[in-house]
Amino acid sequence: MDQATSDWLLGEDRGWKPRWAKAYEIVSCAMRRKAKFRLQGSGLPSGAEDDVVQEAWIAVVAMDPQSIRNLEAVAVGITSKKAIDALRRAHAPTPEPAPSYEEEAYEQALWDAKVCKIVMEDLLYTELDERERRLFIAHVSKGVPCCRLNKQEGITAQRVGQIVAGATRKLNRALKRRLEEEEGEGES
């Protein structure tokens, strides 16, 4: 594009506003060629060249027309830079998303469940005898009904329920005692 055409498109012949529509028609082919050249073999989806050309044209239109000496050179240069930016964006590693509140709460709940399991296992072995522990684990943890456990133990289902309830009370008292002991140590 010669200087006279560039001046006319930018409205410098009589101080008019730039003729952006006509200017775009003339320089867009060169811009597309530059974008296609830069993005060739990049793996970007089809239509990426058009996006680059549109971004570049927006940048050209935002410039002060008085500062542009050769419209085609400026437009192609900006297109080249926008194409390189598109390549960088496409191949930049995506940052690891920050964990959401729900994920943090879930992780905390898992941790709390593990701690509770450890404390419960400790209480089961320190507070209950073998029979209480076996019936409690089978009924409460594994969900075996009392009517099936009574046949294995040779006692009534009612007695199995009483043993499990007694074991539950023992565990609750022991847990309460431990919590009170820890609170007492924390205050000292």
Flag whether 72 is in a domain.
yes
In the chain, how many domains are there? 2
Flag whether 169 is in a domain.
yes
CA angle 17, 18, 21 (to 5 degrees): 125
Mean pLDDT computed over every residue of the chain: 80
Domain that holds residue 16: 3-91
Same domain flag for 145 and 172? yes
Same domain flag for 71 and 113? no
Show contacts of 167-170: CB within 8 Å, 24+ apart.
167/128, 167/132, 167/133, 167/135, 167/136, 168/136, 168/140, 170/127, 170/128, 170/132
Same domain flag for 68 and 139? no
What's residue 163's pLDDT?
92
Flag whether 96 is in a domain.
no
Same domain flag for 86 and 105? no
What's residue 30's pLDDT?
81
Mean pLDDT, range 51-75, rounded to an integer: 82
Q: Is the pLDDT of residue 37 over 90?
A: no
Which range in 24-28, 67-71, 127-131 is most confidently predicted, on average pLDDT?
A: 127-131
Same domain flag for 85 and 107? no
pLDDT band at 3 (very low <50, low <70, confident <90, very high): low
Q: Is the pLDDT of residue 175 over 70?
A: yes
